[in-house]
Structure 1
């Protein structure tokens, strides 16, 4: 299937793919239609929804904000909006009501599509989201000024409105690890004809096969969701398994064992105990991680859980603004602990062939630095986003004569590969927070996660996340004995760590909690 447009994506898939979709729970968009869908049924649901939204008043050129519980129907709603020539903006319900209010105001949407739980949560936080939009449509019934989508159903969909390839297609927000998320604008050319088309090209080992059972457990409001959907539908695997809530995974995977699996890094971490104690992942030949850093113990646990002879972990580094930039394949052998060497997954691999170019520059002068020297990572790719909603000056500040400033620190190895060190805002002079985290997690089996925070004028603060919120002093002493000096560890549980919608640690918020300010060594100019 050729990837043409978001508006006709599911219609095109219905004509060319026999993929069957299994959901961990019914769509919020269609709660009575169960958990099994074929392509024809999904295409019909998109058309039906488009007709209802048209009846509700959505028109060509509108911006439509969508915020709801995590599920793949974010993409179906986006496709329904795109059929009308409008622009969907996908926002996470994990954002605070205050942040949602600011982002919705920036979007200036004609319509907000949401659900009662989102409106009720916002109201409890003192925010009326319906007051900042022209109309609000609720997926699950009337709520205050919000009108139920069901009341508009039954209207036939109007003809598809096709927008130009360089017109705004969809808006996604960034993770917001350092503050209020940015609203990233992509077009059909960048997101579908660029990012999705590249992923939809068949590559041995890495691409979905027609015999595969492809499982995804990501944040479907994220910029990954639309291009991933387009790519996987074009590859037409036998089955597609969607996990909306990480806690619902076991029954679904028992019934539909996956052969490829992509999940949020935080989800992989939470599933590690299942990988160790069950055979749920025995049939997986390919694991995929994007979104955030993954540490060696977690990757090793899943590779060992696979019953395949040579399972592969595909580690992808990229950003919402750029799509995937580099990739690296990890195997059991490459992650094996070796004498005198600390295992790490900071190697980014190499840029995607023909799709991205990277260079490392001094963060003050922007002069290119030699191999082995840390610096800012700049990228050149034809699929860079075209702007930030209501913050175009901020976008221009990161755009430097065709090179995009990622705000990440890294270095080029003598062999031409790239190594990720830290976000510039989180740097520690002469060290790498993320590499220290790799080592600590590898040495502390009881650690669910480790975070190292740089604090000017103080030793770096290690935060160790455990199930119990406790850590034996002798275990810490053994783990850090040959490392650079660190402060005494702060031991917390998973729920005590501030996180984004994709499970990333909000380091600035955690730093404020522990140190009552957010002073860092970095400038934070390119967050």
Structure 2
């Protein structure tokens, strides 16, 4: 098993002579005057310096260190720095509402908070003092009331790396929070590194980075995927790793053109935002051999657009389904043929493929009795995996309530086909009667290209409500009726201006917040018991 411990990870890479160059879309928040290109030795030095800052701040072995800052890869570097001195990083997105951050920090009870003065000021303007739930606060971008500025801890000599038992807490990250308050998920070195990252760090045909690859990542770096991606991809030593902090195509395009990718992994929201780039005559995706999407299912037109954009003869799209609590559970390889539109109904990407071989087992059960249902029948999806998290911080009973005889309730509804594939229907709380919100949303995107985002909100009484964002803010109602003619009856769609949907850090819609805004407290059709 490769030595993947995140604390000394960059030191080990440097000792191996790993030649990868890391390119950044902008300078790091922990080195705002630093370069946008790093070699591995430079990153090892930066992580060691950051470990010295935390040590000077008084962080001790076993302490939790909350990191709340704008999205960038230094979320991961700070996590490595904390792990290097035996502390436990807890990564939080600054895009969470201030009151949510306050509650999560209270649950964490972290002795130290690493943040920015701007983040503190934004929360203060919303009536929340983020530093109230920690003993020491370090600001990266200048002084703030009650905080230690970075200048005061620079130059502190870091202690030597401290190892921890594999079963001890390694890192805490939060779930997306689409259905309510995010949960704080704790993972150990055993689950997050030795069982998830190490599996991906083994070189596999077609789907692993190669020495001549330029690998692009665009995600929320506060989530667990960022840490496992960093460890596994850099261990495989591609030629370049290009890291983007924003999904905005205007910011991504110059970087992608300067460093044309051969492998792209991104959140579905990033692919959606970049679809216009893929359609341009001189786009930067011409040499991509592999696309990977995580966090959520992606709509078929998006997959079709990017697979059609590359000049490679047989490009692949790998769709991975999993959760913060479990890591990857299923995967499916999509090709141009598998997403080709034939007739009126689309080839859905809610077919999530098969469980990860040798790692995961799935079961579909009746949500009321938890008894297995037959193949081809819908039910609650349970997973049995050795990568299950250690628990939820501040909610000690919650994980126990979601696990029965070793089977974890994902909260998703699905169908196992006769061949063993998983068809995703919905989150249980978001479902609709006799249908699937996810599939309806796929159909909307497939038949109405002017729709940028479609969200279908189910309710216990009344027709499901479609919420749409279109490219120009308008909708041809006659075209809408024609497109929806063979679907279950829907309410008249509500148009929302671009940029006004409530989104998570990964770009997913906060459905519960949207329900509260548009459905005036109407009860959902699902129970929400398994969220």
Once the two structures are overlaid, the 10-residue window that deviates more, 433-442 or 509-518, is 509-518
Corresponding position of 1:32: 33
Instruction: Give the deviation of 1:22 after TM superposition.
Output: 0.4
Partner of residue 369, structure 2: 365
Structure 2 CA distance for aligned equivalents of residues 164 and 264 of structure 1? 32
1:343 Cα shift? 2.1
What's the offset of the Cα at 1:161?
1.4
What are structure 1's unaligned runs of at least 5 residues?
none
TM-score (norm 1): 0.98
The answer on 1:483 being equivalent to 2:487 is yes
CA RMSD after TM alignment: 1.1
The correspondence of residues 471-510 of structure 1 with structure 2, limited to 5 A, is 471-510=475-514
Match of 1:249 in 2: 252
* Aligned position for 1:79: 80
Q: Distance in 2 between matches of 1:23 and 1:272?
A: 21
Q: Are the equivalent residues in 2 in contact too, given 1:135–1:146 (CA < 8 A)?
A: yes
- 1:194-225, Cα deviation, whole Å (9 max, x unpaired): 11011111111111111110000000001111
**2: distance between equivalents of 1:86 and 1:310?**
45
Does structure 2 conserve the Cα–Cα contact (< 8 Å) formed by 1:407 and 1:424?
yes
Name the structure 2 match of 1:467.
471
Query: Secondary structure at the residue paired with 2:397?
Result: helix
Q: Quick check: 1:112–1:135 contact (8 Å CA) kept in 2?
A: yes
Q: Which of 308, 322, 330 in structure 1 is aligned with 2:326?
A: 322
Q: CA offsets, 1:463-488, max 9 Å, x none?
A: 12112221011210111011111111
Contact 2:460 2:522 in 1 (8 A): no
Structure 1 residues 396-415: aligned runs within 5 Å: 396-415=400-419
Indicate if the aligned counterparts of 2:345 and 2:443 stay in contact, CA closer than 8 A.
no
- Determine if the alignment matches structure 1 residue 12 to structure 2 residue 12: yes
The answer to whether the 8 A contact 1:343-1:439 is kept is: no
After superposition, what is the alpha-carbon deviation per residue over 1:248-288, rounded to whole angstroms, capped at 9, x for unaligned?
11111111111000111111111111111142111111111
Structure 1 position 427 matched with structure 2 position 428: no
In the alignment, the residues of structure 2 paired with residue 518 and residue 256 of structure 1 have an alpha-carbon distance, to the nearest angstrom, of: 48
**1:416 maps to which residue?**
420
- Note the alpha carbon deviations across 1:102-139, whole angstroms, 9 max, x for none: 10011001100001111010010011111221010001
Residues 20 and 39 in structure 2, CA contact (< 8 A), matched pair in contact too: yes
Match of 1:386 among 374, 386, 390: 390
SS in structure 2 at match of 1:495: coil
- Distance in 1 between residues matched to 2:443 and 2:3, nearest whole Å: 42
How does 1:132-147 map onto structure 2 within 5 Å? 132-147=133-148
| 3-state SS of 2:30 partner | coil
Matches of 1:127 and 1:341, distance apart in 2: 48
SS of residue paired to 2:276: helix
TM (norm. structure 2) is: 0.98
Query: 2:4–2:231: 8 Å Cα contact kept in structure 1?
Result: no
Report the equivalent of 1:151. 152
Shift of residue 518, structure 1, vs aligned partner? 4.8
The reply to whether residue 298 of structure 1 matches residue 302 of structure 2 is yes
Q: Distance in 1 between matches of 2:414 and 2:246?
A: 33
* SS of 1:144 mapped into structure 2: coil
**Distance in 1, Cα, partners of 2:222 & 2:172:** 10
Q: Deviations over 1:345-391 (max 9, x none)?
A: 11010001101000100100000011000000000110100100010
The DSSP-based 3-state class of the residue aligned with 1:224 is helix
Tell me the secondary structure at the aligned position of residue 449 of structure 2: coil
CA distance, structure 2, for counterparts of residue 500 and residue 518 of structure 1: 22
Partner of 1:186: 187
Return closer, same or farther for 1:152/1:518 CA change in 2, 3 Å cut-off: farther
* Alignment partner, residue 169 of structure 2: 168
- Give the aligned length: 527
Between the aligned partners of 2:3 and 2:164, the Cα distance in structure 1 is 15
Kindly indicate whether the alpha-carbon contact (under 8 Å) linking 1:470 and 1:492 is maintained by their aligned counterparts in 2: no
